[in-house]
Structure 1
Amino acid sequence: MLIALAGQQNAGKSTIFNMLTGATQYVANYPGVTVEKKSGRYKDGEIRVEVVDLPGTYSLTSFSLEERVARDFLLQDKPDCIVNVLDASNLSRSLMFTIQALELGQPMVLGLNMMDVATAHGMHIDVEKLSRTLEVPVIPLVGRKNKGRTELVEAIRHCSTTPQSRSRSPLLYGDLEKYIESIEATIREASRLEASYPIRWVAIKLLEGDQRVVEMIRTEHPDGEAILDMVQAHATEFEKYHALTTSDHILTYRHAKAQEIARASIQQPSTGKASLSERIDRVVLNRILAPVFLVLTVYCIYQISIVQGYELTKYTWPYLATFRSLVADILPIPGLVEDGILRSLVLWCVDSANTLLNYVPIFFILFALIALLEDSGYMARIAFVLDRIFQRFGLHGQSTLPYILGGVFAGGCAVPGIMATKGIPDDRARMATILTVPYMNCLAKVPLYTLLVNIFFAGQKSYALFFISTITIIMALIIAWVLTNTVLKSKEQAPFVMEMPTYHLPTLRGVTTRTFQRTWEYLQKVGTIVLAVSVCVFALLQFPNLSDDVMQKYEKKMHGALAVFQSTIKNTQYASSLDNTHQVLSMMDYASRFNAARLNSGGDIQGVMQRFEEENPVFFSFLKPGKKDKESRIVGKAASLLLVKRKEVQRQIKDERIQNSFFGKVGRALEPITKFAGFDWKINIALISSFAARESSVATLGVLFEQGANEGATLEERMGTQSEASGMTPLHALALILFFALYPPCFAATIMVKVQTGSYKWMLFAIAFPCAVGLSVASAVFSLGNFFHVSGFTMMQIFYGVALSLALFIGFFPQLLKNISGTNSQGPRQNNDSSTLITQS
């Protein structure tokens, strides 16, 4: 059996879905679209029931992608039963969807959810009377407490096995009925559409002006154009005598019918008191207090998920490091000069995967907190508070969540941020959000920002961090306005409907289920991509390899160091254990693993010491820390010098290989373009490598700026010293910060753009456009600063003032800018004849 869960948003569909299916569920996308498809199964005796949770929609029109997906599924997949979930505490609103669903003429059961909330509000719903009026079974439910499941399962079985009569009394539309009947008769005369679509429903949709149905009649009916001409004539005639469009007349009748059914089915004594939700909203939506609560909420999210979640990584990282050690033990031991391709590639991939997995505790907490906000009802309030601001830039109140996940101030990730855009019904605003979420300060950008601020803006650290935290959202709003008035101008828009659901206590089951689902989806969609990209980046940094002559030069250095080592220890008791290269390599591998195990011991130093002593007592005796005999000290010191020499040679090899690699050649080839932003080939390579993962920028710089055997110098110290020698100034650093802030999303986020848009064209645009914008801004700032001899810090202040002024001008005078630019497109809230609707349950 195939069952569809349908209904309006915030009616508790997801709760009913979880109640029916439990853990037997999975998430995918509907074919060809980006809307999430949640499916699950349960057993009813010998019957296997598949339940599909359709996107929550307020109607079955074709304004938004979610509405089209839900409607197409009901019409094309023809489920055995539609379970229409209603909010019992707001019955009249929910019935608007029910009336439209009934017009499809398919078997249906009404799940009257949140009965406990309705009772708490003093409402008594006559379920039997409601069932007789609508001529469908009605089942009272309290989804979060698992009440009503047995009755619902039984009603579904009866509904699907005992076909309901399609002669239900339809909703009559008064003076419009004669036109509906005329259109029905004409469609039936020469058409086979009746086998696929309810003809009365088609006639009503034509009078509503539903463009999808209009196109369907035009292409699938032999007399399509004639029928459309007749519909237009009927609509014109009706409007002439009623001073009302046919679509408004239909909407009015549905609304009146929903109100009539609700009044007849509900007994509610008038107390004159405001509901609990209304009393809470008087505070959290207060004109003055609302921004305060919003900022506190965002602050708490960051403190709990980013700050405390990062603390958890201190406990998870030792396990990831142990896993790396286990993999390293299986691989061939490293050579005297190089590790070998197999070992290097596998460890590179493991390190890349560990980088991703290390952030899982942060994302898990973040997803749980977002689920709490959604289930409690406050997420809708956040959208309400910010919508008036966002809409002036072509965005949407529901763009808030993607921006929060992306890292409004610092510490998010673009991947879940882009994933969260699924819920935005307005296609233009959704695309603008997808393309601007990567400008947020994801957690992986923070290391480079910290590095540059510590080197070049140490005296103005607080202001520099404030600049970085806020300039990204300012630039994102400006760029969103530009996109929605240019390349996204023709994108389809939807009427904006915002609902203020009643506040609810989130359920543990609902929150944990969605948290695990989102975390697993994140790992599935990103983990495989990161591994694939790691191989590509590894190849681009390694090949073409160094020539044999160059490698022989480095091998000669290492063999010289090896000879010195063996000469130093030849008169000790350990000489026989280290008299050939293979034994020395084993010792060096042992020393590296020993040092790594001590660093990741998690406090269990004694356990590590005991394990390595048992593994090789000879090596342990001169490599262990602490008090040793004279010969052990001599050999231990010689071994340390040999290890340092090998690291020095390996760094030199890496540096030369990178310069001559494909990446290195590209970095040098880009210098004629990037020199206007102050970037040399090393910076270019770091930026290119960061396309795979933002963390790679600092990691690459760490390789590029390593010199000699100065093991004690930090990357800040090495970069600072070399920057002074090369003439790198705070102005260079500012240009790099701005470019990095406006840089294209990382590869994983770029793939997510493809997943969410379903288009390679937009994926490539998401790479090319930020490159052009970022390089233009960085070049302008650097070139102007150089020309006028302005310091980096002063230029930072000037740029911030200009960007903030432009954003405020767009926000306060959006129509003036449209007139100046010659843009005639209407904003997202003015599409067709629709207006913003805010409902309070």
Structure 2
Amino acid sequence: MPDPISPARAQRQGVLVALAGQQNAGKSTLFNVLTGARQHVANYPGVTVDKKHGQYSDDLGTVYTVDLPGTYSLTSFSLEERVAREFLLGDRPDVTVNVADASNLRRSLHLTLQLLELELPLVLALNMMDVAASQGIQVDKDLLARRLGLPVVTTIGRKGEGREGLRQAIRGVEDPQTDMGQPDPGTVVRYSALEPAIGQLMARIATEPALADLPRRWLALQLLQGDPAAVQLLVDRLGDDGTRALRETAGRFIEAFETEHRIEVSDHVVSCRDRTVERLLAGAVQGAGDGRPSLTDRVDRVVLNRWAAPFFLVATVFAIYQVSIVWGYELTNYTWPLLAKGREVIAGVLPSADFLVDPYTRSLGLWLVDSANTLLNYVPIFLILFAAIAVIEDSGYMARIAFILDKILHRFGLHGQSTLPLILGGVFAGGCAVPGVMATKGIPDTRARMATIFTVPFMNCLAKVPLYTLLLGIFFVEHKSLMMFYISTMTIVFALLVAKLLTKTVLSGQETSPFVMELPHYHLPTVTGVLRRSLERTWQYIKKVGTVVLAVAVVVFALLHLPGLSAERKAHFEAEAQAAVERFAAALEGNAYRDVALGENLVPLINYFTDYKRAKLNATGRAGSERVAERFQARNADFYPLVKPPSGDRDARKAWRELRKLARARQGLRRDMREEQIRTSLLGSIGRGLEPVTQFAGFDWKINIALLSSFAARESSVATLGVLFQQDDDQNASLEERMGAETRAGGATALLAVSMILFFALYPPCLATTIMVKVQTGSYKWMLFAIVFPTALGLGVASAVYSVGTALGATGIEAMSAVYWGAVALLLVVGLLSDRQASRRLRERLAET
């Protein structure tokens, strides 16, 4: 779909509509109602604020729709405000839909008045009418429309109600032949004593041809309020000299007004708008402010209670993990057989295996399939996880989580606006550090913004969940719920402690800024909305598996196959294989099936044997076994008696026994060759070279390789482990079974899993996040710091826990419990000390005053 941002292209191809509104007014929900599935998400040029755009068609053509960032005003004090205002001024949409919260019009109409001053064709959408009705609020939209002089429609976005009326209103405003009574912006809000200054500045602006496309009244108001972005706009259009006269004129007006009235211009503007809103709503809104507490108020008295709030927060996190990770994991018992069958189909299409070394196309193909299958097996978990998070978001409780956490963040050097990046990074799970780091741009305080950038990667991003699930499925089957509770809440504990450490050391010297937020009304999530977001986010995960993870898998494949075995070692394995074949031939001397089993038939026969064995292992029930027998008998009737000897056929029975011996010998040789090839490869050499350092954390060379590959993409850790802990040709076992059997055989315990979990939780950000750290900080130094510091911290913590736990003979759950509650105790101590220090500084300031 073409990008609808260019007004010229929008005029030529269709109508450009912008949705503007305050946060929590249901603007994005209404955008989804208008556009359906035909929408895209990108970034506005030069900034990291999301640009959501879509389209829909009606009888008159195509309507391109842009969802602007939620904003309370059109000043330039926040990134969202600047992005929304620059789009409205620069692209001049054909129609702007102002989405307002019908249950709180007094607040919402302030933005409406500012949009009118931009002289934009406007439609007012009174959304959340169901919430207003539940509070006993009645709105006379016709009276409000007459007073504002613009069309007013009512909608309930989450239920999809009002869509057609809104679409008709958009077309009515856009049609130049239709007189919708769009008002003169000067007649809606009158600024009393400020009007003469506004008029003179407008007259001065009118003499500048370079400013002809800008709304004069709006620009005059911005100059009188000292808006730096408006001044910069003048400089860009007129240059410094051309701007000087206007700035000096505005400065004289500001000084004269504030001297005479003893009030700042911006405060006077806000008060005039507030009086205008009161006049507009008088008689148009009934039932508001009757003193009865709303349902939201009654619920908040419980869930935001000082003592109950932490309990509800922890219970919510625990419930999400219980439903998605613990119960959702049971669904993998159904998905894995499907993925295994898919692997069989692909393996049948690829070139056949040789006796010792397979063709590269087969090796690489099965490598990619195994890498993808390992991660796709967790799709049911993510579907449930994303649905649970969508329920929390749509209900309104997500904002309460931000409110609850805000009280804590300030004590650890973070800002209230750090909450959103942390949530995006994965306070629950299923987040991603990339948008989390991107979202830090809106934090006004430099120290808090930098601390947030470095702590967002500690969150439970989507890509970490497969490794956690894998390790819990192997080592903590009986303590899954408790371990997932530890993991999900431990990351925020670590993040707060690290943020405090950074703000007291490398980021010291900056003060945090106050944070103001608004809590939305509670809503009942819709099934459609929850399913849409769950499917969208899961699809993003699947696309990542099909792109980034597979790209990393190809690189890892190459690094694990270079430089390859030496000629001497190849000759050794070939000699062993020849000896096994000769023993097989000698054993079949005089056997009726000798000609069927030897010569050119040998390799096809042994592949047939291993395929049959693997198919029988994957078959379910007697009917499944019978289908396998029919399929293989049809595939090669001559080979079938050697894999399923008929009763009474002694030659077939003997040939089957000898073939089984040969298959085992071949399997052992192939496994030894792959093991030696991986161990002596470039990546294997690096992994073994790190063992002297990582041995204190319990990591061997295979784990080192997996962790190294995860730097490119977190998911690659499990995908790489899925191949390193290889399966034999006649197997199709899950990674839990393969890795569990091999690690336990090597003496590994749950303590190793704890060490890996702790290291992975503190591990440096992935490559994409590292690049975003560079973008947001503008410094390669900080990008390098984001890699080195977490590596040292994670390896230090993992090594200490593994070494001490081994020395004390602690179990995995004991070690994890000790680390978790020790970190919580340290967090409480640091938090209490910070609170006392803040109180002491406040008393000192009051004493000085």
Which range, TM-score by smaller chain?
0.7 to 0.9
The CA distance in 2 between the partners of 1:783 and 1:483, in whole Å, is: 21
- Structure 1 residues 703 and 114: alpha-carbon distance in aligned structure 2, compared to 1, 3 A threshold: closer
Q: What's 2:232 paired with?
A: 215
Q: What's 1:838 paired with?
A: none
Q: CA deviation at 1:483?
A: 5.2
Q: What's 1:75 paired with?
A: 89
Matched, 1:175 2:197: no
> CA contact under 8 A between 1:414 and 1:745: conserved in structure 2?
no
The one-letter amino acid paired with 1:533 is V
Cα RMSD (Å): 4.3
Which fold has the larger relative contact order, with Cα–Cα distance below 8 Å and residues 6 or more apart in sequence? 1
> CA contact under 8 A between 1:381 and 1:500: conserved in structure 2?
yes
Matched, 1:5 2:19: yes
Matched, 1:617 2:637: yes
Which secondary structure state, in structure 2, belongs to the residue aligned with residue 342 of structure 1?
A: helix
The CA distance in 2 between the partners of 1:647 and 1:706, in whole Å, is: 12
Q: What's 2:173 paired with?
A: 159
Q: What's 1:607 paired with?
A: 627
- Structure 1 residues 492 and 103: alpha-carbon distance in aligned structure 2, compared to 1, 3 A threshold: farther
Q: What's 2:711 paired with?
A: 691
- Structure 1 residues 314 and 702: alpha-carbon distance in aligned structure 2, compared to 1, 3 A threshold: closer
The one-letter amino acid paired with 2:285 is I
Pairwise mapping of residues 277-356 of structure 1 onto structure 2 (< 5 A)?
277-356=296-375
Matched, 1:110 2:124: yes
Q: CA deviation at 1:79?
A: 0.6
Matched, 1:574 2:574: no
The CA distance in 1 between the partners of 2:596 and 2:720, in whole Å, is: 38
Deviation per CA, 1:202-225: give whole Å up to 9, x if none: 232334443333333334333334
> CA contact under 8 A between 2:437 and 2:772: conserved in structure 1?
no
Matched, 1:446 2:463: no
- Structure 1 residues 246 and 643: alpha-carbon distance in aligned structure 2, compared to 1, 3 A threshold: farther
Q: CA deviation at 1:499?
A: 2.3
Pairwise mapping of residues 662-673 of structure 1 onto structure 2 (< 5 A)?
662-670=682-690
Matched, 1:541 2:560: yes
- Structure 1 residues 271 and 667: alpha-carbon distance in aligned structure 2, compared to 1, 3 A threshold: closer
The one-letter amino acid paired with 2:45 is P
> CA contact under 8 A between 1:89 and 1:118: conserved in structure 2?
yes
Give the counterpart of 1:510 among 529, 535, 554: 529
> CA contact under 8 A between 1:689 and 1:696: conserved in structure 2?
yes
Pairwise mapping of residues 368-407 of structure 1 onto structure 2 (< 5 A)?
368-395=387-414
Deviation per CA, 1:12-48: give whole Å up to 9, x if none: 2233223322333333333333333222222232322
The CA distance in 1 between the partners of 2:405 and 2:331, in whole Å, is: 32
The CA distance in 2 between the partners of 1:542 and 1:307, in whole Å, is: 37
> CA contact under 8 A between 1:391 and 1:397: conserved in structure 2?
yes
> CA contact under 8 A between 2:121 and 2:173: conserved in structure 1?
yes
TM-score (norm 1): 0.83
Q: CA deviation at 1:526?
A: 5.1
Which secondary structure state, in structure 1, belongs to the residue aligned with residue 98 of structure 2?
A: strand
Pairwise mapping of residues 119-138 of structure 1 onto structure 2 (< 5 A)?
119-138=133-152
Q: What's 1:837 paired with?
A: none
Pairwise mapping of residues 355-366 of structure 1 onto structure 2 (< 5 A)?
355-366=374-385
Q: What's 1:585 paired with?
A: 603
Deviation per CA, 1:365-401: give whole Å up to 9, x if none: 2222222222222222222222211343355667667
> CA contact under 8 A between 1:705 and 1:718: conserved in structure 2?
yes
Deviation per CA, 1:646-681: give whole Å up to 9, x if none: 232222222322233221333345457657767665
Q: CA deviation at 1:536?
A: 1.0
Q: What's 2:667 paired with?
A: 647
Q: What's 1:839 paired with?
A: none
Q: What's 2:571 paired with?
A: 552
The CA distance in 2 between the partners of 1:591 and 1:238, in whole Å, is: 94
Q: CA deviation at 1:565?
A: 2.2
Which secondary structure state, in structure 1, belongs to the residue aligned with residue 330 of structure 2?
A: helix
Q: CA deviation at 1:105?
A: 0.7
- Structure 1 residues 491 and 533: alpha-carbon distance in aligned structure 2, compared to 1, 3 A threshold: farther
Structure 2: which 5+ residue stretches go unaligned? 1-14, 842-849
Q: CA deviation at 1:475?
A: 1.5
- Structure 1 residues 700 and 532: alpha-carbon distance in aligned structure 2, compared to 1, 3 A threshold: closer
The CA distance in 2 between the partners of 1:63 and 1:55, in whole Å, is: 14
Q: What's 1:100 paired with?
A: 114
> CA contact under 8 A between 1:734 and 1:792: conserved in structure 2?
no
Moved more, 624-633 or 178-187: 624-633
Deviation per CA, 1:34-76: give whole Å up to 9, x if none: 3332222222323221121222222222333332222222111
> CA contact under 8 A between 1:591 and 1:623: conserved in structure 2?
yes
The one-letter amino acid paired with 1:86 is A
The CA distance in 1 between the partners of 2:480 and 2:526, in whole Å, is: 43
Q: What's 2:210 paired with?
A: 192
Matched, 1:258 2:277: yes
- Structure 1 residues 126 and 28: alpha-carbon distance in aligned structure 2, compared to 1, 3 A threshold: same
The CA distance in 1 between the partners of 2:234 and 2:541, in whole Å, is: 41
The CA distance in 1 between the partners of 2:132 and 2:480, in whole Å, is: 54
The CA distance in 1 between the partners of 2:511 and 2:655, in whole Å, is: 74
Q: CA deviation at 1:83?
A: 0.9
The CA distance in 1 between the partners of 2:631 and 2:550, in whole Å, is: 32
Q: What's 1:206 paired with?
A: 223
The CA distance in 2 between the partners of 1:622 and 1:321, in whole Å, is: 25
Q: CA deviation at 1:159?
A: 0.8
The CA distance in 1 between the partners of 2:287 and 2:132, in whole Å, is: 10
Q: What's 1:751 paired with?
A: 768
Q: CA deviation at 1:89?
A: 1.7
Which secondary structure state, in structure 1, belongs to the residue aligned with residue 391 of structure 2?
A: helix
> CA contact under 8 A between 1:418 and 1:434: conserved in structure 2?
no
Structure 1: which 5+ residue stretches go unaligned? 823-841
- Structure 1 residues 333 and 61: alpha-carbon distance in aligned structure 2, compared to 1, 3 A threshold: same
Pairwise mapping of residues 642-791 of structure 1 onto structure 2 (< 5 A)?
642-670=662-690, 681-692=701-712, 694=714, 697=717, 715=739, 718-719=742-743, 722=746, 737-746=757-766, 750-751=767-768, 754=771, 769-776=786-793, 778-779=795-796, 782=799, 791=808
The one-letter amino acid paired with 2:126 is L
The CA distance in 1 between the partners of 2:129 and 2:558, in whole Å, is: 61
Q: CA deviation at 1:109?
A: 0.8
Q: What's 1:830 paired with?
A: none
The CA distance in 2 between the partners of 1:133 and 1:434, in whole Å, is: 47
Give the counterpart of 1:15 among 15, 25, 29: 29
Moved more, 258-267 or 622-631: 622-631
The CA distance in 1 between the partners of 2:421 and 2:189, in whole Å, is: 40
Moved more, 613-622 or 230-239: 230-239
Deviation per CA, 1:300-339: give whole Å up to 9, x if none: 2222222333223332332322222222111111111122
- What is the aligned-residue identity percentage? 46
Q: CA deviation at 1:138?
A: 1.0
Q: CA deviation at 1:708?
A: 13
- Structure 1 residues 401 and 234: alpha-carbon distance in aligned structure 2, compared to 1, 3 A threshold: closer
Pairwise mapping of residues 810-821 of structure 1 onto structure 2 (< 5 A)?
810-814=830-834
- Structure 1 residues 276 and 553: alpha-carbon distance in aligned structure 2, compared to 1, 3 A threshold: same
- Structure 1 residues 237 and 556: alpha-carbon distance in aligned structure 2, compared to 1, 3 A threshold: farther
Matched, 1:85 2:107: no
Deviation per CA, 1:771-805: give whole Å up to 9, x if none: 43332453477479979996475997886676445
Matched, 1:29 2:29: no
> CA contact under 8 A between 1:86 and 1:110: conserved in structure 2?
yes
Pairwise mapping of residues 459-474 of structure 1 onto structure 2 (< 5 A)?
470-474=489-493
> CA contact under 8 A between 1:399 and 1:424: conserved in structure 2?
no
Which secondary structure state, in structure 2, belongs to the residue aligned with residue 61 of structure 1?
A: coil
